[in-house]
Copies of this chain bind each other. A is one copy, B any other.
Amino acid sequence: MSYNTFGRVFRFTTWGESHGPALGAVVDGCPPGLTLSEADIQPFLDKRRPGTSRFTTQRQEPDQVRILSGVFEGRTTGTPIALHIDNVDQRSKDYSEVAKAYRPGHADYAYDAKYGFRDYRGGGRSSARETAARVAAGAVARAVIPEVTILAWVEAIGGDSIDYAHFHAAEIGNNPFFCPDPHAAKRWEALVDSARKAGSSLGAVVVCEAIGVPPGWGAPLYAKLDSELAAACMSINAVKGVEIGDGFAAAALSGEQNADAMRPGADGAPRFLANHAGGIAGGISTGQPVRVRVAFKPTSSILTPVETVTRDGEAAEILTKGRHDPCVGIRGVPVVEAMMALVLADQKLLHRAQIG
């Protein structure tokens, strides 16, 4: 079943293929009266934009967003906001091989198995280009939650992790890896370069933190804040794992080690002595930073030939030429931030629906 809408009251729907004329999103349920223009959205798209360093795909896309509805005289009207991004650099290459044989790790076989055929040009709907639409929608979501600051970074590439002793938020924008540790950024330059030159690819771990989420957002039980975040992050291309707070590490702890003790805080709200829970208890925010950790698999497009089969069931070998990200997790950083913003905007509105 094709299902391209996310959210419950603050909802967005995306559309578009890698090599179609355009892609976009419709954001519905946005509160009225918020200041919004293309200039508020463009910086987030620029952050995600391909072709900005040699560590990302060389496809050149300006990713200029246009707002086609829902904004009047610089403010949201409360009606649906249509966001439109033209595709510009769909290279007219020969797709006959991809059309015929399934690229392992890609959606090729699964799409054909489901739909009977597929738009094979650049991955069609399964291309990570779709994430541009999410990032644009996420910028609208940020306008809904001005009280929240969202920050994501790459924690590890190809198993090489940052050292949190060297974490500097200010460093994240200073390198092409969204890396908060300058030492790791240095190492990754060599690592990613070497993978890129070898026609190989690398996985990555992205961490995202939202600060300023008040206690009380979320729900028991099937729209738990953690459940919504897991769905949101797992819907991103190439993501294979999601953790809230300590995640799998918590599974190795004892109850004493995992307890987030509380003391009376200055303002009446409790002060937490730890945040193993990642800012969520019982599916509801606690007022601590909401923290999610996301695993990106290595890009499936590689230059090493891999055994596969054709549509006709014949044995074949395939290698994926053309432009791609050697580490798709890097450009996942603005995408994870966008999904965090989209989930939190929806939860904020859901919260005030029920609580007032």
Contact = CB atoms under 8 A, between A and B. Distances in A.
A254 B17 contact: no
Interface string A236-280: 000111111111101111111111111111001010010011101
A110 B243 CA distance: 20
B262 A251 contact: no
Contacts of A281: 105-110
> How many copies of this chain are found per oligomer?
4
A254 B202 contact: yes
Contacts of A262: 102, 104, 109, 307-309
A153 to B, nearest CB: 14
A5 B27 CA distance: 11
Contact of A114 (B23, B72, B218): B218
Contacts of A17: 69-70, 72, 77, 79
A42 interface: no
Contacts of A265: 313
B240 A226 contact: yes
A79 B234 contact: no
Contacts of A116: 32-33
A28 interface: yes
Interface of A is mostly: mixed
Interface residues of A, number: 154
Contacts of A259: 104-105, 300, 302, 306
Contacts of A21: 66, 68
A258 to B, nearest CB: 5
B251 A241 contact: yes
A109 to B, nearest CB: 6
Contacts of A80: 2, 4, 13-16, 125
Contact of A256 (B29, B33, B68, B302): B302
Interface string A1-38: 11111101101011111001111101011111100000
A28 B49 CA distance: 27
A233 B231 CA distance: 10
B355 A297 contact: no
A113 B216 contact: yes
Given A117-B77, A221-B235, A354 B31 contact: yes
Contacts of A56: none
Contact of A251 (B11, B14, B204): B204
Contacts of A162: none
B352 A75 contact: no
